[in-house]
Amino acid sequence: MGHARSSSSSSEEDGDADWKAAIDSIAAADLFLTKNLAIDTSKPSSQNNDKLSEPNLEGDPDPKFRAQLPKHYQIKAQKILDDIVERNLEIVSNPVNIQDSDREDDGGGIQLFRTAPRGIMFDQTDEPQGPKKKPRIFPGEDIDEKSKKFKRQLQSVVVDGLDVMVAAKAASQKSLARLEARDAAAKVAAKREEERVAELKRIRGQRWLPSIAKEMQLERRAI
C-alpha cells in the first residue's frame, strides 16, 4: 500500500512539472513577440510601410520557392524582342502534297499535322454524282435510233450553222433580185411615159398640156 501511494504521488509531481515547463515556454514566447513589436513600432513609418508592402513569406520553408516579380529591364527587353519578331517574321502557307495512298480516310475534319488527332468534324454530305451511262429516253413507242425514219425526224429538227448561212444567203439574193426587177420596171415605165409625152408634143403642140395635166398625174399614180 505504501509503495502504491508513493508511486502515485511521484507521477502527479512529474505531471505538474510538465505543465509548469509548458506554461513557462509560452510566456517566454509571448515576451519575445511583444519586444519585437515594440521595436517595429519605434522605427520610422517609411520602414513600416515597406514591410507592409512586402509579402510575408517568412512561413515559406525554402526561399527559392518565393514568387519573384519580373524586373523593369526584363519587361522592356521582352517587349523589344516581341516587336522585332513581329517586324521580321512573316507567316506564309507551305502546302504539302500528300499521296492519296498514304492518307487515311478519317471522315473529313481539320488536322494541323498528319499524325495529329482529328479536330473539327464536318457533317457528312452526299455529293451528287452524274449519270455514268447515256440515258435512253423513248417518248412513247420504241424507236430504233439507226432507222431512216428516226434520222429524218432528227434531221428535221436539227439546226446546222452552215445550212442557216446558205439559206440566209439565198434569201438575200432573192430579195435583191426582186428589188432590181422593180427598179428596172419603174425605169421602163418612166421611159415609156416620156416617149408618149414627146409624141403628143410633136402632134398637138404645147397648148393641150395644162388641160390634161391632172389626168396625167392620176394616170401616173395609178401606174
Crossing angle of helices 2-42 and 45-53, rounded to 10°: 110
CB 79 within 8 A of CB 93: no
What are the pLDDT digits (tens) for 171-197?
999 999 999 999 999 999 999 998 988
Looking at the chain, the whole-number percentage of residues with pLDDT higher than 90 is: 11
Domain boundaries, the chain: 1-40, 163-222
Point out the least confidently predicted range of 12-16, 44-48, 71-75, 214-218.
44-48
Q: Which helix (H) or strand (E) holds 130?
A: none
From CA 223, how far away is CA 189, in angstroms rounded?
A: 8
Yes or no: say if 86 and 97 are a contact pair by the CB < 8 Å rule: no
Distance CA 17, CA 147 (A): 132
- Report the range of poorest mean pLDDT among 99-103, 140-144, 213-217: 99-103
Q: How far apart are CA 31 and CA 28, in angstroms?
A: 5
pLDDT in tens, 106-159: 555 566 666 766 666 666 666 777 777 777 776 667 777 888 888 888 877 777
Global model pTM greater than 0.75: no
Give the per-residue pLDDT at 87.
Answer: 80
- 55 CB-near residues (< 8 Å, 6+ apart): 67
Q: Which of 145, 163, 162 is nearest to 154 (CA)?
A: 145
